[in-house]
Amino acid sequence: MKTILLATDFSRQAQSATDFALHLTELFQARLVILHVYHHPLRLAPLQAVLHRWNKKTR
């Protein structure tokens, strides 16, 4: 079984990778799996507060 995994955020910049993956899928008669990815910025202040409370409980 031939499978191509395309990770994309569906942005304009990702379009050429999508086109290429579709071309390879047809060329090799493969299955195309699309994974939608995006960047979710991590806010450290809330995470640090949770970790601080957790550290207090484990002492």
* Domain coverage including residue 50: 3-58
pLDDT given at position 4: 97
**Sequence-distant (≥ 6) Cβ neighbours of residue 19 within 8 angstroms:** none
- Region 11-27: mean pLDDT is 95
Domain count, the chain: 1
Tell me which amino acid residue 17 is.
A
Question: Per-residue confidence at 31, pLDDT binned at 50, 70, 90?
Answer: very high
